[in-house]
Structure 1
Amino acid sequence: MADIHVLLVTGEYPPMAGGVGDYTERLAAWLAREGVESTILAPVGQREQVIGFGKWGWPAARKVADIATRVGANVVHIQYQAGAFDMHPSANLLPCLLRDKFPTLTTFHDLRPPYLFPKAGVLRRFAILRMARASTRVVVTNPFDAATLAGREIDTVEIPIGPNLPPPDLDLPVDRDTVAFFGLPSRAKGIIELIEAIGLIDPVRRPRLMMIGDMGTASANNDLVPLAEIEQLAADLIVRVDRTGYLPAQQASNALARSGVVALPFQHGASLRSGSLLAALQSGRPVVTTEPHAPTSLNDVGRMPQLQIIPRNNIGRLSDALEVVLAAEDGVGPLPWPYGWPSIAAAHASLYASVIEGWERRER
C-alpha cells in the first residue's frame, strides 16, 4: 500500500465533548496501526497532530486546502455532523472547495441539514445532497442512511462506527443499584424519560442514576437538557442522580462496566449511528434501549444477548425493564466483528488507498 496521509476534518474533538470527536480520535489511533498517517483539523489544537481552526465558518473552510498541502496530506476526510459544525453551511461546501485539489471523502454521521435561514427547508436538504455529490466518496455508518442516499442516486460505502471508548478492564465489581446513562444528556437520547422511569420504581428498590461523561452546554444548536432541569426533575421524583463529569476514556469505560445496567432510551429508537450504544454493549453489562423504526436496522447487533429492546417513549415499559434486568442473571456476548476497531480501520485504509489510486490515475 502506498503511503497514505489523511487530513481528518471534524467539528469537535477531545477535550470537547461529543461522539463524533471521540470517534475521530479512535479512528486516528487505529489508522496508525494500519500504517496510515493522520492529521486532525479541529476547533482546538492542544495535541500533537491536531491543528486548531477556532470557530467553524467560512474563514476556516477556505483554509482547509492550504492546511492539507502544508501537512502533506494526500486525502481529506470530513467527519460530518451538522451540530458538530455549529450548523454552519460552509461545512457542506467543503467538498466543492476541495474538488480540484484533493480527493475528499465525507462520512455522514447523520443526514441532518445545516441552518441557512428561516423557511429554507428545501435548500437545507439540498445542501446535504450537494455535499454528497461533490465528495469523491461518501461513507455512511448504517443501512438506513445508505438507503436514504441511494434513493437520491448517490452511491455510498457503508462502514459502521465502533465504540467510542476502549474496552473496560477485566473483573470490575458491579453495583446492581446503579443505572448508567452515558454521553451528552440530549432530549433525543431519552434522559428525561429515564429519570421519570426510575422515579416509578418503588423507593425501597429504586436505583440511583449515574450520568457518565461531560454534560455539555445546552444551546439553540443542540437539544441538550440543561443541568438545572435535570436536577429539578430528579428532586421532584426523588431520584438520586450522580454525575462523573468528564472522564478519560478508560475510566468512562470502567464506569459503564461497574453499573448494574446501562439505559439509552432514544426517543427515535436505537441506531447504529450511536457510538454510546456500542460502548455500552462492549461494557459487558445489560443494556436497555428502544426499538428502531426498522426492525432490521440494528443488524446482528440487535441479537446480542445483553441488549433489551423496549417500545419507544413508553416510560412504564422502561421502568419495568430496568427492574427486571437489575434482578436478572447477566448474559453477554462480544460485539460483532464489523463493529470492532480493527475491522473499521482496515476498511478505511483500503478505501483511502482506492480513492488515492483513482485520483492519481485521473491526474496523469
Structure 2
Amino acid sequence: MIITGSLPPMSCGVGDYTKRLAEELASDLNHEVIVLTSQGVFNDIFKFKVLSEILNWSILESLKYILILKKNKPDLIHIQFPTQGYGRGLLPFFIPFINFIFRVKTVQTWHEVYSLKFLPLVFFKSIFSGSIIITREKYSTYLSKFFRFFLFKKKFHYIAVASNLPPVNLSKHSFSEVKSFYQKNQSRLIVFFGFIYPNKGIELIFSIADPSKDQIVIAGNFGLNVDYNNQIHKLAFSKFWKGKVLITGSLPEIEASKLLSVADTIILPFRNGVTGGGESNGSIHAATTSGSFVITTSDEIEGYDKERNIYFAKIDDVSDMRYALEKYSSFKNVLNSLEIFKNQWLLIKTKHELVYSSIQSINI
C-alpha cells in the first residue's frame, strides 16, 4: 500500500510521481498495489486500486486509517513525504507508529529536505520506519548537523526520480499545429509550468523575455498567495505584455507534454534554485526530457550543460538568464526520449523492489 495525500487529477508533483511508481509496480503481476489517498480522486482512471478515503489527514482520522489497515492487510506500507494533499495534517507523521503497533513494515520516501523546525516530527516518524528512500544523492549534506545527529543510524536508500510526464514524438504537422496554437503572432515561445508560487520566481520571466517577439505560456495553478497572484496578473496585462501571455492552469498530462516539446525555451527561474543539478526536481526532468532548451537557477552549478540542453544561472540573475535565452533559445536535444523515459522508470521500479525485499520477506 502506497500512501500519498495527492494523486491526479490533484495538482502535486509528488502525487504525479506516486501515480507513475504505482503503475510501474502494478504492471508486474506479482504485485498487488493499493494507493491510499485523499477524498476526491477518481478510481476508474488508474491501473491500480485506489482508496480515496482520507478527508484531511488529521490525527482524528487515525481510527479510519486503522480500519483501512486491518481490512486490506498490506504486507508493506510505503508513504510519500511531503504532498500537497496532506496540508497541515499530522496523521502522516504518526502512520509509521500505527504501522509498528500493528506489526506492518514501513518504507518512507522523503522528496524534500526538512528544516530544523520539523525535527521532532521527523525524528518521531523515522524511528518506526525500516528504510527511508531519498531522492537526492547527497541528502545529508543539505541537513543541519543537529538533524544529522538524530538520524545518523537510519538506513537511507538513494533512488533518483525521473520525469513524471511521458515525452511525445509529434509529427511535423502536429508540431506546427501545437506551436501555432500557443505561439500565436509572436516569433518565440517561452514556457513555464508548475505551481504559481513566489519561490518559483515566475515574475522574473517578464524581465527575461522580450515582449517584441516572445509569447509567454504559464501552465500551472495559482496558489493561495493573493498578492503574488495579483502581481502575475498585473504583469501579464501590462502595456508591454498584454495579449502576449497565456495562463492555462494545470494541463492534462498529454497536453503538458506537447507544450513542453514545442517550446523554444522553458524557463524555471526558481528563487531557491535547484540542488544537485535538479536531480530530485521532477519539473527539471520533465523539461529536459522534452528535448527543449531549459533555463533554471542553481547556487551549485553555472553555465550550459550541452548533454541535457539546460543552462544554470545564479538565483535572480536576470541578465544571465536573458543572455542564455538569446544564445541557446530554440536548441533542441535530439534523443530517443520515450525509450529513455521507459528505462528510467524501469530502473526506479527495480530499485524500489530491492528496498521492499530488504525489509520484508516478500517474494519479489
- In the alignment, is residue 248 of structure 1 matched against residue 252 of structure 2? yes
Give the Cα separation in 2 of the matches to 1:144 and 1:189: 23
Match of 1:81 in 2: 82
Match of 1:165 in 2: 165
Q: CA deviation at 1:10?
A: 0.8
State how many pairs are aligned: 330
AA matched with 1:192: E
Match of 1:43 in 2: 38
- In the alignment, is residue 307 of structure 1 matched against residue 310 of structure 2? yes
Q: Check whether the contact 2:266–2:287 (CA below 8 A) recurs between aligned residues.
A: yes
The alpha-carbon distance between structure 1 residues 130 and 24, as it changes in their structure 2 partners (threshold 3 A), is: same
Match of 1:141 in 2: 135
SS of structure 2 residue aligned to 1:73:
coil
The answer for unaligned runs of 5 or more in structure 1 is 1-6, 114-120
Match of 1:116 in 2: none
Matches within 5 A, 1:25-44: 25-35=19-29, 36-44=31-39
The TM-score with structure 2 as length reference comes to: 0.81
Q: CA deviation at 1:94?
A: 1.6
Q: Check whether the contact 2:6–2:38 (CA below 8 A) recurs between aligned residues.
A: yes
- Out of 189, 192, 203, which is 2:200 matched to? 189
Q: CA deviation at 1:283?
A: 0.5
Q: CA deviation at 1:278?
A: 0.6
Q: CA deviation at 1:63?
A: 2.9
Give the Cα separation in 2 of the matches to 1:251 and 1:191: 21
Matches within 5 A, 1:251-262: 251-262=255-266
Q: Check whether the contact 1:62–1:97 (CA below 8 A) recurs between aligned residues.
A: no
Matches within 5 A, 1:1-364: 7-35=1-29, 36-44=31-39, 45-48=41-44, 49-52=49-52, 53-81=54-82, 83-101=84-102, 102-112=104-114, 122=117, 124-147=118-141, 148=143, 152-153=151-152, 154-171=154-171, 172-173=175-176, 174=179, 177-198=188-209, 201=210, 203-205=211-213, 207-213=214-220, 215-218=221-224, 226-236=228-238, 238-239=240-241, 240-270=244-274, 271-291=278-298, 293-295=299-301, 304-326=307-329, 329-333=331-335, 340-357=344-361
AA matched with 2:71: R
Match of 1:117 in 2: none
The answer for unaligned runs of 5 or more in structure 2 is none
Give the Cα separation in 2 of the matches to 1:80 and 1:23: 12
Q: Check whether the contact 2:309–2:331 (CA below 8 A) recurs between aligned residues.
A: no
AA matched with 2:121: A
Q: CA deviation at 1:71?
A: 2.4
AA matched with 2:230: A
Q: CA deviation at 1:288?
A: 0.8
Q: Check whether the contact 1:150–1:156 (CA below 8 A) recurs between aligned residues.
A: no
Q: CA deviation at 1:254?
A: 1.0
Q: CA deviation at 1:106?
A: 0.8
Give the Cα separation in 2 of the matches to 1:24 and 1:266: 23
Q: CA deviation at 1:261?
A: 1.1
The alpha-carbon distance between structure 1 residues 226 and 169, as it changes in their structure 2 partners (threshold 3 A), is: farther
Q: CA deviation at 1:150?
A: 5.5
The TM-score with structure 1 as length reference comes to: 0.81
Tell me the C-alpha RMSD between the 2 structures: 2.8
AA matched with 1:42: T
Q: Check whether the contact 1:161–1:275 (CA below 8 A) recurs between aligned residues.
A: yes
- Larger CA deviation: 253-262 vs 182-191: 182-191
The alpha-carbon distance between structure 1 residues 339 and 233, as it changes in their structure 2 partners (threshold 3 A), is: farther
Q: Check whether the contact 1:187–1:225 (CA below 8 A) recurs between aligned residues.
A: no
Q: CA deviation at 1:317?
A: 1.5
- Larger CA deviation: 281-290 vs 343-352: 343-352
SS of structure 1 residue aligned to 2:65:
helix
The alpha-carbon distance between structure 1 residues 334 and 112, as it changes in their structure 2 partners (threshold 3 A), is: farther
Instruction: Report the identity percentage.
Output: 24
Give the Cα separation in 2 of the matches to 1:72 and 1:229: 49
The alpha-carbon distance between structure 1 residues 87 and 144, as it changes in their structure 2 partners (threshold 3 A), is: farther
The alpha-carbon distance between structure 1 residues 350 and 322, as it changes in their structure 2 partners (threshold 3 A), is: same
